[in-house]
Structure 1
Amino acid sequence: MIDFQLVDLARALVRDRFPNLRAAWLGGSFVSETATPTSDLDLTVLLPGPPAPYRSAERYEGYPVEFFVQTEDSLTYFCEQSLESRRPSTIRLIGESIVLADSDGSGAIWQRRCLDWLRTGPEPLSQSELDSRRYRITDLLDDLRGATDQDRIGMIGTGLLESSADLLLAGSKRWVGRGKALVTELERFDAETGSRWQDDLLGAARSAWTGDPGPIAKLAEQILDQFGGPLFEGYRAEARIPPASF
């Protein structure tokens, strides 16, 4: 259940700290009802201009607080970055939020815009993006077959967990993530598809750390097979080097 006393506290904080704000949103775990005792308040604030954009952290009334202070231009930039990377951190913070303040209608507009992006999902993988993911997993599987010491087996298994989950999600036109955000995206995918990839992949990665790399290798191969199979011979990626600045 959402703690509305906490919502009121967050609303009072942003109004006091940013008297000229255009909009503010409370997002993250307190809104998704997944907060833990150490979770912070994720507050995105839209200002007309400077001192935005910036990010800061502090403790307020005993709660850790993270501020993501934006202008219209910076918010547009970070949302475009989320769309391009398929990691919807900024988009989720606003799309799945409680609007704390909205002086000019931008709070509701941005919330609807981000929610539409979340519901539509990311763009399909291009062929080069798909090939790079297939190559990465193929290479890790080769490394795993040759690894003999436990630490390397565990680390390669973790890499296979992350790379295989990324291919599964991005290849299925779903959002991806890193760290705990990856677990969240796998949970959402399983809920939508009736699968159990989260439990299977995490369990297999744990097995790799305890000396059994077989389960993570098998799952990685299954995911590879869904998206064209292994790729090593013939793989080629063009380098893009920006012009020198001197």
Structure 2
Amino acid sequence: MIDFELVDLARGLVRDRFPHLRAAWLGGSFVSETATPTSDLDLTVLLPGPPAPYRESLRYEGYPVEVFVQTEQSLSHFCDKGLETRRPTMIRLVGESIILADHDGTGASWQRRCLDWLRTGPEPLSQAEVDARRYRITDLLDDLRGAQDQDRIGMIGSGLLESSADLLLSGSKRWVGGGKALVTELERMDKETGSRWLDDLLGATRSAWTGDPGPIAKVSEQILDQFGGPLFEGFRAEARIPTAYS
């Protein structure tokens, strides 16, 4: 249940610190109702111009707060970056939010725009992108087969968790993430499709850290098989060298 006292606190913060704001949104775990005792308030504030853009961590009336202060140009940049990388951090912070202030309509319009992106999903992977992910997982599986000690098996297993989940999600035209955001995206997929990928991947990775490579190898191979199987021979990736070094 959303804590509306915290919503009022967030509204007071943006009113006190940003008197010339255009819009502000409260997003993150307090809105998705996944907050823990150590969670901070995630605020995005839209200003007409400088001193934005910047990010600031602070405490307000005892609560930890992360403030992402944007202009329309910088907000567009970070949303475009999220679309490109399939990691919609800023898009979720604005789209899945409570509007705290909206002085010129941009609060509602940006929220609608971000929600549309979230519902549509990212662009499908190109074949080259699929192949690069297949190669990465194949390479990790080869490393896993040769690993002799528990620590290396655990580390490779963690790499397979992230790489396999990335292929599974992005290859299914879904959003991806890192750390706890990856768990959230897998949870969303499992809830919507009735799958058990999160439990399978996490359980297999735990086994890897005990020195048992079998479960994570099996789950990773199952995901690989959905997208063409292992890839090593014949894989080629063109190098892109910055102009300054060419």
Q: TM-score, normalised by structure 2?
A: 0.99
CA offset at residue 47 of structure 1?
0.3
Give the alignment's Cα RMSD to 1 decimal. Answer: 0.9
Cα distance in 2 for partners of 1:185, 1:75 equals 22
CA offset at residue 6 of structure 1?
0.5
Structure 2 match to 1:174: 174
Structure 2 match to 1:84: 84
Measured against aligned partners, the alpha-carbon deviations of 1:81-130 in whole angstroms (never above 9, x if no partner) come to: 00000001000000000000000000000000000000000000011110
Structure 1 match to 2:101: 101
Distance change >3 Å, CA 245–CA 47, structure 1 → 2: farther
Distance change >3 Å, CA 58–CA 243, structure 1 → 2: same
Q: TM-score, normalised by structure 1?
A: 0.99
Structure 2 match to 1:72: 72
Q: Match for 1:237: what amino acid?
A: A
Cα distance in 2 for partners of 1:172, 1:120 equals 13
Cα distance in 2 for partners of 1:245, 1:206 equals 43
Q: Match for 1:172: what amino acid?
A: S
- Ranges of 4+ aligned residues in structure 1 off by more than 3 Å: none
Measured against aligned partners, the alpha-carbon deviations of 1:173-225 in whole angstroms (never above 9, x if no partner) come to: 00000000000000000001000100110010000001111000000000000
Cα distance in 2 for partners of 1:167, 1:42 equals 28
Structure 2 match to 1:223: 223
Cα distance in 2 for partners of 1:245, 1:57 equals 37
Cα distance in 2 for partners of 1:78, 1:35 equals 24
Structure 1 match to 2:144: 144
Structure 1 match to 2:2: 2
Cα distance in 1 for partners of 2:62, 2:206 equals 35
Cα distance in 1 for partners of 2:187, 2:205 equals 16
Q: Match for 2:23: what amino acid?
A: A
Cα distance in 1 for partners of 2:91, 2:66 equals 16
SS of residue paired to 2:244: coil
Structure 2 match to 1:243: 243
Measured against aligned partners, the alpha-carbon deviations of 1:23-80 in whole angstroms (never above 9, x if no partner) come to: 0000000000000000000000000000000001011111100000000000000000
SS of residue paired to 1:244: helix
Cα distance in 2 for partners of 1:59, 1:141 equals 45
CA offset at residue 245 of structure 1?
7.8
Cα distance in 1 for partners of 2:185, 2:221 equals 21
Q: Match for 2:98: what amino acid?
A: I
Q: Match for 1:197: what amino acid?
A: W
Structure 2 match to 1:198: 198
Cα distance in 2 for partners of 1:113, 1:160 equals 34
The answer to whether the 8 Å contact 2:149/2:211 transfers is: no
Cα distance in 2 for partners of 1:103, 1:182 equals 34
Q: Match for 2:180: what amino acid?
A: K
Structure 2 match to 1:165: 165
Structure 1 gaps, min length 5: none
CA offset at residue 241 of structure 1?
1.4
